[in-house]
Amino acid sequence: MPEASQIDYNGLIPNNVGLAEDLRVRKALETWHPGYIDWWKSMGPEGFQNSPVYLRTAVGVGSEGWAKFGFVRMPEYRWGILLAPQVEGRTIPFGAHKGEPAWQEVPGEYRAMLRRLLVIQGDTEPASVEQQRHLGATAPSLYDMRNLFQVNVEEGRHLWAMVYLLQKYFGRDGREEAGELLRRRSGDQDSPRMLGAFNEQTPDWLSFFMFTFFTDRDGKMQLAALAQSGFDPLSRTCRFMLTEEAHHMFVGETGVARVIQRTAEAMKAAGIDDPYDIERVRALGVIDLPTIQKKANLHFSLTLDLFGNEISTNAANAFNAGLKGRYREDKLTDDHQLTSSVYPVLRLRDGTIVNEDVPALSALNMRLRDDYVEDAATGVGRWNRVLERAGMAFRMILPHVAFNRRIGEFSAIHTDTDGNILSSEAWHARRESMLPSTDDNLFIASLMRTSRQPGSYAGWIAPPRQGIDNMPGDFEYVRISD
Amino acid sequence: MIDFQTDPTRYRHWKLSFDGPIATLTMDVDPAGGLMDGYELKLNSYDLGVDIELADAVQRLRFEHPEVKTVVLKSGKENVFCAGANIRMLGKASHGHKVNFCKFTNETRLSIEDASENSGQTYLAAISGSAAGGGYELAVTADHIMLIDDRRSSVSLPELPLLAVLPGTGGLTRLTDKRRVRRDLADVFCTTEEGVRGKRAVQWRLVDEVVPPSAWEAKVNERALELAARSDRDGTKGIALIQVQRTISDDAINYAHVRVALDRAARVATITILGPSDLPADLRGIHDTGAAFWPLAMARELDDALLHLRSNEPSIGLIVFRSVGDPAQVLGADSLLEQYQTDWLVREIRLLLKRVLKRVDMTARSLITLIDPGSCFAGTLAELVFAADRAVMFAGSAAGDNRGPATLHLSALNFSAFPMGNGLSRLANRFYGEPDSLNTAAALIGETLDAEAAEEHGLITFAYDETDWDDEVRLILEERASFSPDALTGLEANLRFVGPETMETRIFGRLTAWQNWIFQRPNAVGETGSLKRYGSGVRPDFDPERV
Ligand SMILES: [Fe+2]
Ligand SMILES: [Fe+2]
């Protein structure tokens, strides 16, 4: 690594924000950068740091710039600061300031609120890298290993994106928060990451795929809502981040689909029709479908907690202030102010789950969660097409939103995956039929043996249909021996 | 009707647990347990009902648990210590309810500090999660504040930026007067919605220490034991605070030793204290008598009556204090309280009397004490003479009355046991400009003073004989009832407290007065004001004019 003071800011840090000329931010980044590299080396992917990996680097926001492929050692990855191009004459799209010119500087009255939004979003980015740091050792193929690292470096870049905004627009507090983002640790008792799901473990590759499918999708929803922001630099940042987030969900969706596909194929070959004949299925060295469903139940429910309380003053304030919009706000055709409309929210009333109309402004978390569920359901539908094509009757589902919740209306009750309320005894009796048991996890762990021959795949997962960057099937995505 | 009586079997929001010298008071507010409809007590936010339980718990810890030397105040919820007073409740509440609510919560906070300072029962706040607004104000009543350093938990007073009101439960005052936070840092703290966490909270003296989660439980326990080791509290067996018995009818509330008669047409409540009849002989007897011991029983009853009148009888503008009984018996009770003042229980009884008398001072109704034949305003009960805005005494005897003339008696307790919020005894407060009168009064301890002597020594306002008494008393009450209730509240609150300011008088005088002003202003309570708009996501519209 070159010394921080000698960093060539336009070369090493691809950016379209004029970093080389921005002395104040440069100074802040110079202070922050060594800490980031230390963090990456100690908390980023374990091992493989010196192996060239075939990674995509974004060097610009134009069509040629955003996807440059090539081999790079991860600590030398060029984490860039890239904002979607500024739209001339953009106005604040929603809330009390709707129609006013979008802010290019932070409005003083919303500084604290905005900073909080950035810090919460920023905290999730390094968290998932930390959660996934042990997975390289058990990668089912070099293709998957490369995808893991691609996701990791991009989450690192997302951290950069948030840190840039903090350092550019939030003064001393912003610099302090940027430092704190490197000091918190996923799962650490003394300084955990801010949100629950980002302190859970990602112990195996099925968890990784589920995480990128479900939890990165929450990231997508949050970014999509922030991409609508009246604070233009945030909007532009998030719009660009969304292009990367799409790839993370691709990794998750296709990852799970390939696991399902492999299981279906193995069952067929062995003549097993009953997906619940778990022992026989597992004897084939593949993950039985009910266990895959249980993993989905777990990750879906943990992720729903990230949306916070169904009724939220903070969300209302952020919307009204013009800082955080709804999913695809620009495609919605209402007044974009929501001061007089209502939105139906599932609530717990006298021990039953009912639908209740509440003021739309206070129901924004609920609304974003509804959009999320719909988006996730589309992906689940694609998993089911794999089952359909394989001639299996089994179908993956999304559990009821009240299932296994720790935040919000339903944190006070237990339900089954259909949303029927369960007594505490019934919950404990049935828990392991709905969520992964220790046995299930041990079984999955027993399959986690790496496969590092170019073009070869562990027995529990099918190869992808296509290589990255259209590379051939036996392409060596990670040069481990180098 | 708002009922101020409760007991641990009925708590919905607090849990008490005991481990030798340490008690843990856990706040775990039931969101559905609001005192009124229309709001949910989320995130350990509180309303009057939550605070009534807290006040009860604090009281019981003192009387029922002499073995408890440290009380650990903590939250039963994850990620939140206490979010403060419930905003929706404040948004819906009448002005009168808000004022009474704040006054009661302030009195409860002070009773916590009184326990730490005077009862050898020290409070320790163990903050995990966010302590916001009233939540931090609650924590600041503790002698020692610990904040978990999980990089999330914080302390804050977000009232001004978030709600456009003040941290009015002593928050502002305790920052500067108790925590000695530098005033400019206090300004930053009170305008930063998200508050302060970690080391900075210690640097600014907002908390006493921060502790990482891995060491949290052990450290809290260690500190609690350290505080316990400093205590001089030496009792072993507490007394049960059995429920205060009362009967409430349309125009009266009757307790064993306190009678309240309501004349709603005249807007007058007459509170008559019945003096003691049989007193225990010694300390053992006091303990055996327990909650039935007259000074304690009377104090609890009077306390309940005051709270009842404040909350449930808003249009009663005047409280007339009377008493019936044998002054010698009241002085007998006083000498027990004086003789055994080092005993933990006697100390608690004296402290309770002190707090109840402060509650009298803080009651926003005109107070008139009538000393007539058959009354027993002696020693402790004479405090009601000195607490009153006016005290008038019947001179001589009425024709055909064989009870003898009205008398007034001082005891040592009048000079030392019951300081007001300004730190002065009611007599020192009364004779603020006349130090000689105070000395003279001290020489009158034990004397039987008739109306003439009492008037001469400045202990009463006026003395009237039989010819004038009925008319003069009627005129005082009628005239009082004709004045503006608001102006009277202001007048009385100013004149009752002379001289020096203390943290307590600053809380009730300066902070509360400003808060109550803000609570009346459109910027807070108007249709587009902060409290009405809170939670809607729509920003309040402020009138920019500074007043
Ligand atoms: Fe991300
Ligand atoms: Fe992501």
Residue B163 is part of a domain; what is its CATH number? 3.90.226.10
Residue pLDDT, tens place only, A154-172: 999 999 999 999 999 998 9
Contact B167, B157 (CB under 8 A): yes
User: Which CATH number do you get for residue A221?
Assistant: 1.10.620.20
Cβ-count burial B316-331 (b if 16+ within 10 Å, e if not):
bbbbbbbbebebebbb
Q: How far is A455 from chain B (nearest CA, A)?
A: 45
Report d(CA A270, CA B427) in Å as an integer: 98
Q: How far is A217 from chain B (nearest CA, A)?
A: 24
Q: How far is B301 from chain A (nearest CA, A)?
A: 38
Specify the 3-state DSSP secondary structure of A3: coil
Report d(CA B88, CA B40) in Å as an integer: 8
> Are the Cβ atoms of B192 and A112 closer than 8 angstroms?
yes
Does B365 lie in the same domain as B426? Answer: yes
Predicted local distance difference test score (pLDDT) of residue A114: 94
Predicted local distance difference test score (pLDDT) of residue A121: 94
Bigger pLDDT: A61 or A85? A85
Residue pLDDT, tens place only, A336-346: 999 889 999 99
Pick the ligand that lies closest to the CA of residue A159. 1
Asked if residue A265 belongs to a domain, the reply is yes
Does B405 lie in the same domain as B319? Answer: yes
**Which chain B residues are Cβ-neighbours of A173 within 8 angstroms?**
none
> Are the Cβ atoms of A190 and B214 closer than 8 angstroms?
yes
Q: How would residue A6 be classed by pLDDT, with cut points 50, 70 and 90?
A: very low
Closest CA to A411 of B77, B38, B537, B153: B77
Percent of chain B at pLDDT > 70 equals: 100
CA distances from A107 to A234, A261, B170 (A): 13, 51, 32
Cβ-count burial B207-241 (b if 16+ within 10 Å, e if not):
bbebbebeebeebbbebbeebbeebebebeebbeb
Predicted local distance difference test score (pLDDT) of residue A2: 36
Report d(CA A399, CA B285) in Å as an integer: 67
Contact B337, B295 (CB under 8 A): yes
Nearest chain B Cα to A315, which residue?
B537
Tokens representing A77?
Answer: 């990855």
Asked if residue B355 belongs to a domain, the reply is yes
Q: How far is the CA of A114 from the centre of ligand 2 (A)?
A: 21
pTM (two decimals): 0.84
Does B264 lie in the same domain as B162? Answer: no
Residue corresponding to tokens 């409540």: B269
**Which chain A residues are Cβ-neighbours of B152 within 8 angstroms?**
192, 194
Report how many Cβ contacts below 8 Å link chain A to chain B.
55
**Which chain B residues are Cβ-neighbours of A116 within 8 angstroms?**
194
Asked if residue A10 belongs to a domain, the reply is no
Q: How would residue A5 be classed by pLDDT, with cut points 50, 70 and 90?
A: very low
Does B154 lie in the same domain as B58? Answer: yes
Predicted local distance difference test score (pLDDT) of residue B180: 96
Q: Regarding beta strands B80-82 and A352-359, do their DSSP bridges make them parallel or antiparallel, or are they unpaired?
A: unpaired
Number of domains in chain A: 1
Bigger pLDDT: A190 or B434? B434
> Are the Cβ atoms of A189 and B213 closer than 8 angstroms?
yes
Burial of B299: CB neighbours in 10 Å, binned 0-12, 13-18, 19+: buried
pLDDT at residue A116 is higher than 70: yes
Q: How far is the CA of A39 from the centre of ligand 2 (A)?
A: 18
Structural domain boundaries enclosing B372? 248-489
Does B319 lie in the same domain as B186? Answer: no
> Are the Cβ atoms of A339 and B193 closer than 8 angstroms?
no
pLDDT at residue B39 is higher than 70: yes
Does B348 lie in the same domain as B209? Answer: no
pLDDT at residue A481 is higher than 80: no
What is the DSSP track for A4-43?
GGG--TTTTS-BSS-GGG-HHHHHHHHHHHHHHHHHHHHH
Q: Regarding beta strands B268-274 and B318-324, do their DSSP bridges make them parallel or antiparallel, or are they unpaired?
A: parallel
Number of domains in chain B: 2
Amino acid at B426: R
Residue pLDDT, tens place only, B62-75: 999 999 999 999 99
> Are the Cβ atoms of B536 and A359 closer than 8 angstroms?
yes
**Which chain B residues are Cβ-neighbours of A320 within 8 angstroms?**
536-539
Predicted local distance difference test score (pLDDT) of residue A14: 86
Positive or negative torsion for Cα A196, A202, A205, A207: negative
Does B252 lie in the same domain as B223? Answer: no
Q: Which of A194, A320, A364 sits opposite B539 (nearest CB)?
A: A320
Asked if residue B496 belongs to a domain, the reply is no
> Are the Cβ atoms of B213 and A190 closer than 8 angstroms?
yes
Report d(CA A125, CA A121) in Å as an integer: 7
Does B273 lie in the same domain as B196? Answer: no
Q: Which residues contact B199 (CB under 8 A, 6 or more apart)?
A: B149, B210
Q: Which of A149-153, A388-392, B149-153, B409-413 has the lowest mean pLDDT?
A: B149-153
Average pLDDT over residues A440-448: 97
> Are the Cβ atoms of A362 and B536 closer than 8 angstroms?
yes
Report d(CA B160, CA B524) in Å as an integer: 10
> Are the Cβ atoms of A361 and B536 closer than 8 angstroms?
yes
Asked if residue B542 belongs to a domain, the reply is no
CA distances from A135 to A45, A93, A202, A479, B483 (A): 8, 41, 8, 17, 80
Does B474 lie in the same domain as B357? Answer: yes
Contact B222, B214 (CB under 8 A): no
Asked if residue A61 belongs to a domain, the reply is yes
Structural domain boundaries enclosing A180? 19-470
Q: How far is A361 from chain B (nearest CA, A)?
A: 6
Q: How far is B58 from chain A (nearest CA, A)?
A: 29
Q: How would residue B35 be classed by pLDDT, with cut points 50, 70 and 90?
A: very high
**Which chain B residues are Cβ-neighbours of A194 within 8 angstroms?**
152
Predicted local distance difference test score (pLDDT) of residue A11: 65
- Cβ of B423: how many Cβ atoms within 10 Å? 15
Predicted local distance difference test score (pLDDT) of residue A4: 38
Tokens representing A197?
Answer: 């799901």
Residue corresponding to tokens 């809502």: A225
pLDDT at residue B463 is higher than 60: yes
Residue pLDDT, tens place only, A244-277: 999 999 999 999 999 999 999 999 999 999 999 9
Asked if residue A14 belongs to a domain, the reply is no
Does B175 lie in the same domain as B130? Answer: yes
Q: How far is the CA of A309 from the centre of ligand 2 (A)?
A: 23
pLDDT at residue A372 is higher than 80: yes
Contact A354, A401 (CB under 8 A): no
> Are the Cβ atoms of A316 and B534 closer than 8 angstroms?
no
CA distances from A346 to A310, A354, B34, B536 (A): 8, 6, 22, 19
Average pLDDT over residues A60-88: 87
Residue corresponding to tokens 């609304």: A367
Does B161 lie in the same domain as B121? Answer: yes
Asked if residue A13 belongs to a domain, the reply is no
Predicted local distance difference test score (pLDDT) of residue A9: 58
Task: Tell me the sheet residues that pair with B449.
Answer: B408
Closest CA to A302 of A439, A375, A408, A424: A408
Binding-face residues of B in 200-219 toward A, CB within 8 A: 212-214
Q: Which residues contact A439 (CB under 8 A, 6 or more apart)?
A: none
> Are the Cβ atoms of B538 and A339 closer than 8 angstroms?
yes
Asked if residue A480 belongs to a domain, the reply is no
Cβ-count burial B30-55 (b if 16+ within 10 Å, e if not):
eeeebbeeebbbbbbbbbbbbbbbbb
Pick the ligand that lies closest to the CA of residue A248. 2
Does B160 lie in the same domain as B292? Answer: no
Average pLDDT over residues A145-161: 96
User: CB distance from B535 to chain A under 8 Å?
Assistant: yes
Q: What is the ipTM of this complex?
A: 0.72
Percent of chain B at pLDDT > 90 equals: 87
pLDDT at residue B116 is higher than 90: yes
Residue pLDDT, tens place only, A452-466: 999 999 999 999 999
Asked if residue B1 belongs to a domain, the reply is no
**Which chain B residues are Cβ-neighbours of A359 within 8 angstroms?**
536
